[in-house]
Structure 1
Amino acid sequence: MLHLSEFSVRFALLMGFLCGLTMSYKVEPLPDSYAGLGEGPHWDAERQSLYYVDIEAAGLLRYDYNQNKVYKAKVEGESLAGFVLPIEGKPQEFAVGCGRRVLIVNWDGIAPVAKVVRTLFEVQKEYESNRWNDAKTDPKGRFFGGTMRYIGDEFVHRHGELYKWTAGGQISVVKSDVGISNGLAWDEKAKKFYYIDTTDYEVKSYDFDFETGVATNPKVVFNLRKTSPKDHLLPDGLTIDSEGNLYVATFNGATIFKVDPNTGKVLLEIKFPTKQITSSAFGGPNLDILYVTTAAKFDQPSPAGTTYKVTGLNATGYAGTNLKI
């Protein structure tokens, strides 16, 4: 027979376990975080800041965790900013994708203007209708990023490419025949690279050699095709947690899917009050906050374009890696 005190302890443990099973996540907007086409969130652990871009405004944004404040700047003389990556060892320098060039810009994270220092490299000079889209650094500090057609139909004119660049080396093509080059993520434990071409409606995994940066053996691990073209969800940005689960943003689905890439199973659907979810990144002091960018394209109503934080996911991720140049 259980004593009352022992029963109380076991009951409390059971209720705690059940509450843990049913614990819900919380979605909250960051203050003054609007970006018309928000993209490319990158968590800088050293500065406890989230960097991201407003693509069609050539905007750079920095959310300061400690101040709970967003700072905004425009890249001087530019009309597009596809991504922003901090440079290793240069606290005020960033690589920014402007058109088909990767520029080094100087920004203190506060001033309303970011100054262009120089061009790091340029691609696809023959495709004036193309621009850089998503880009990240792999865990070794190498650049991986891709292009897309932004004038015309990206689903018909697959003129985009995925590129790799290593400090001291030349830019090289990882993949051609790309419609909209988008989400990228790496899993060092599983030796995998994950990649999204939005126009393929799927997430692919690659075997990845972290010493050489070579990706091989593509395989579809998550398919967002539905029964007809009208039902297609558009996969956009991508991040990964420390257990190897993927977080796939849907541009027209108001959702981020948490996916087990080994089974393709959806573990969780994270819902938002706006449709165009563009990307996400883990951040915060404990890397357990999921920061999420959105867009307000095609006259989407408010709160479209807001940047969010998601807490209560019981998951942690990785900070962004600085680009080595």
Structure 2
Amino acid sequence: MQTVLRILAFIGTLCLTMSYKIEPLPDSYAGLGEGPHWDAARQSLYFVDIEAPALLRYDYKQNKTYRAQIEGEQLAGFVLPIEGKPQEFAVGCGRRVVIVNWDGVAPVAKVERTLFEVQAAFEANRFNDAKTDPRGRLFAGTMRYIGDEFEHRHGELYRWEQGKQLAVVKTDVGISNGLAWDEKNKKFYYIDTTDYEVKSYDYDIETGVASNPKVIYDLRKTSPKDHLLPDGMTIDTDGNIYVATFNGHTIYKLDPRTGKVLLEIKFPTKQITSATFGGPDLDILYVTTAAKFDQPAPAGTTYKVTGLNAKGYPGVNLKI
């Protein structure tokens, strides 16, 4: 009986660590990489180095990464292309969402104007992760940048849509992070890192309203110091979500309907920040990492993961 149990356990382990290949992207280092966005039209991966602050673009066809410093800024929490304006991007700079002009090649990018600003009373806050929903609405969240984000939950999650008033989706946020939508099943998934959880919401695609939050995965361990820190997130066409762990070397592929872990994708560095699908067939998982707190190389490298037998969705441009 024990032999049978050992065989079953071994089979289970194989299922969680199926064959996949991890490779670094060239010249892709970011001290605090975040916000990967796949632009299908340009066959390019855009992401940020938050504290540099810099925009990066990996060109799939050239297998080359371009990097631009954002002139006059100190932070860049996310980057999202603007629909119909190929050289304009929405970028989270501090507590402002600004429009940046960049041709994707030049070493400097310039801020053109401010789209909106939040939380004037909280100067220690900044925008962190952001994405557009399937209709091109912007969802962007803040966090406390100076001090203890776990103690001072001053962040908020916002929804911005052209022609409408800025809406607060959620208050009492520590570190606003991963976002993903399942349009087929009318679900929105969200991560506040300081909750150690992934939540699902019912989502009205016509209005952009999220309701009825429910915890679908809990990353708490036996003691607070061992808790995994969920960070960025993406979704595949089967409705499974991929959750990056900032301190766990791992992306967890989860079935949000059951809460079961389907696969553990292991990396040679600890701080995994986010992921998105891309490539010509949308079957490559691109993964950003960080090198905070003196993490050794290859921390900060951006990776591609192949052989996952899954596909995702291209990034949606922001409609202005």
Q: Same fold (TM over 0.5)?
A: yes
> Any stretches of 5+ residues in structure 1 without a counterpart?
1-18
1:97-116 aligned within 5 A = 97-116=92-111
The alpha carbon displacement at 1:230 in A equals: 1.5
The alpha carbon displacement at 1:168 in A equals: 1.1
Distance 1:221 1:111, change over 3 A: same
TM-score normalised by the chain length of structure 2: 0.95
Indicate the residue corresponding to 1:314 in structure 2. 309
**% identical equivalent positions:** 82
Indicate the residue corresponding to 1:288 in structure 2. 283
Indicate the residue corresponding to 1:82 in structure 2. 77
Indicate the residue corresponding to 1:174 in structure 2. 169
Distance 1:259 1:116, change over 3 A: same
Distance 2:229 2:16 in 1: 30
The alpha carbon displacement at 1:152 in A equals: 0.1
* SS of aligned partner of 1:41: strand
- 1:136 is aligned, of 112, 115, 131, to 131
Distance 2:100 2:34 in 1: 18
- What per-residue deviation string (whole Å, max 9, x for no partner) do you get for residues 282-316 of structure 1? 00000000000000000000000000000000000
Indicate the residue corresponding to 2:252 in structure 1. 257
Distance 1:22 1:102, change over 3 A: closer
Indicate the residue corresponding to 1:212 in structure 2. 207
Distance 1:268 1:22 in 2: 6
Paired amino acid for 1:189: K
Indicate the residue corresponding to 1:52 in structure 2. 47
Distance 1:257 1:23, change over 3 A: closer
Distance 1:320 1:33 in 2: 19
The alpha carbon displacement at 1:231 in A equals: 1.1
Instruction: Confirm whether residue 237 of structure 1 aligns to residue 228 of structure 2.
Output: no
Paired amino acid for 1:320: G
- What per-residue deviation string (whole Å, max 9, x for no partner) do you get for residues 204-231 of structure 1? 0000000000000000001101111111
Distance 2:291 2:181 in 1: 28
- What per-residue deviation string (whole Å, max 9, x for no partner) do you get for residues 84-119 of structure 1? 000000000000000000000100000001011100
Indicate the residue corresponding to 1:184 in structure 2. 179
Instruction: Confirm whether residue 225 of structure 1 aligns to residue 220 of structure 2.
Output: yes
- What per-residue deviation string (whole Å, max 9, x for no partner) do you get for residues 162-220 of structure 1? 00000111211000000000000000011000000000000000000000000000000
Instruction: Confirm whether residue 195 of structure 1 aligns to residue 190 of structure 2.
Output: yes
Larger of the two Rg values belongs to structure: 1
* SS of aligned partner of 2:51: helix
Indicate the residue corresponding to 2:91 in structure 1. 96
> Any stretches of 5+ residues in structure 2 without a counterpart?
1-13
Paired amino acid for 1:65: Y
* SS of aligned partner of 1:230: helix
Report the aligned-residue RMSD.
Answer: 1.3
Distance 1:121 1:258, change over 3 A: same
Distance 1:320 1:121 in 2: 22
Distance 1:175 1:20, change over 3 A: closer
Distance 1:152 1:190 in 2: 38
Indicate the residue corresponding to 2:8 in structure 1. none
- 1:299 is aligned, of 290, 294, 304, to 294
- 1:148 is aligned, of 143, 150, 153, to 143
Following superposition, which runs of at least 4 residues in structure 1 exceed 4 angstroms of deviation? 19-23
Distance 2:138 2:289 in 1: 24
- What per-residue deviation string (whole Å, max 9, x for no partner) do you get for residues 235-287 of structure 1? 00000000000000000000000000011100000000000000000000000
Indicate the residue corresponding to 2:25 in structure 1. 30
The alpha carbon displacement at 1:78 in A equals: 0.1
